[in-house]
Copies of this chain bind each other. A is one copy, B any other.
Amino acid sequence: MSEPLILDGAATAKAIRAEVAARATKLKEAHGITPGLAAVLAGDNPASVTYVSMKRKACAKAGITSFEHVFGADATQEEVLACIHQLNADPNVHGILVQHPMPKGLDEDEILATVDPAKDVDGIGRASLGDLVLGHPSFVSCTPQGMMTLLKRYGIDPAGKHAVVIGRSVILGKPMAIALLNANATVTICHSKTQNLAELTRQADILVAAVGRPELITGEMLKPGAVVLDAGYNRVEGRGHDVGDCHFESCAAVASAITPVPGGVGPMTIATLLEQTVAAAERSVGK
């Protein structure tokens, strides 16, 4: 096999962030609107704190105002809901990101369902998920939407292809499967209860690994020429960087196109969050 096309998420995300900054400038000049993204955080989950900090920096570079609402681990449901209602009503806030998991004692489902769908730029509220099933315009969970954008920007059309998605989480596998279906792929969703995983992955024209198991997918599990999207980022002792769900070397030897880890799917998540925030701000014009 010749070398596969490397789907460069870092470069694509950089281009998207520049586009977002240009759109933010245009909104400011034409309508006096500065896009605003509010993060709601409760407790001190280190991954959430890191993500919010990355988001803050990325917003600043893209001309998006960051708002942060940080609650202690002992926050009450009423306090958090009151904050969401206030953000829903705030015209300076166009996107609302609720960091999850929230501490036990909070009803995360109710909190997520309270976010105005027009501001649900993280795409994980029930209305956004329902709109995705309906095929209506909606904000989609940022990592799957980022993968769809990668496919699009590299000219890979899922229509008529067999896409196999491994993993069925609500933020990754399920919305990715529905988005691929909406893009006219034939879609198979595999998970921990799947028998004969390799038989299914070998049928994939497009393989999406979103399962959180380091190097689960190896080259011999792929169809030659497959497009491989690896949403895994697993900490593995003794390895210098995060490890994907795919064994890169053996998969790259078989695939026609593949995302590296890091620098593949990962950077697309925040870029997509920014893109959906500026889109929400654009849609707010004239409302």
Interface of A is mostly: mixed
Interfacial chain B residues near A184, Cβ < 8 Å: 191, 193
Given contacts A178-B133, A186-B189, A186-B200, contact A162 B127 (CB under 8 A): no
Number of copies: 2
- Residue of A135, A136, A159, A168 contacting most chain B CB atoms (<10 Å): A168
Chain B residue at minimal CB-CB distance from A182: B168
Interfacial chain B residues near A54, Cβ < 8 Å: none
In the complex, are the beta carbons of B136 and A129 less than 8 A apart?
A: no
Task: Give min CB distance, A100 to chain B, whole Å.
Answer: 12
Sorting the interface of chain A by its residue count into under 10, 10 to 19, 20 to 34 or 35 or more gives: 35 or more
- B-contact bits for A181-210, CB 8 A (1 contact / 0 none): 100111111110111000010000000000
Q: Which one of B130, B168, B190, B194 lies within 8 Å of A130 (CB-CB)?
A: B130
- State in angstroms the CA–CA spacing of A194 and B185 once bound together: 7
- Give me 25 A-to-B residue pairs in the complex whose CB atoms sit less than 8 angstroms apart, sorted by A's number: A109-B136, A126-B127, A126-B133, A126-B136, A127-B127, A128-B130, A129-B129, A129-B133, A129-B134, A130-B130, A130-B133, A133-B133, A160-B193, A160-B195, A162-B195, A168-B181, A174-B181, A181-B189, A184-B191, A184-B193, A185-B193, A186-B189, A186-B190, A187-B189, A188-B188
Interface residues of A (CB under 8 A from B): 109, 113, 125-136, 159-160, 162, 168, 170, 174-175, 178, 181, 184-191, 193-195, 200
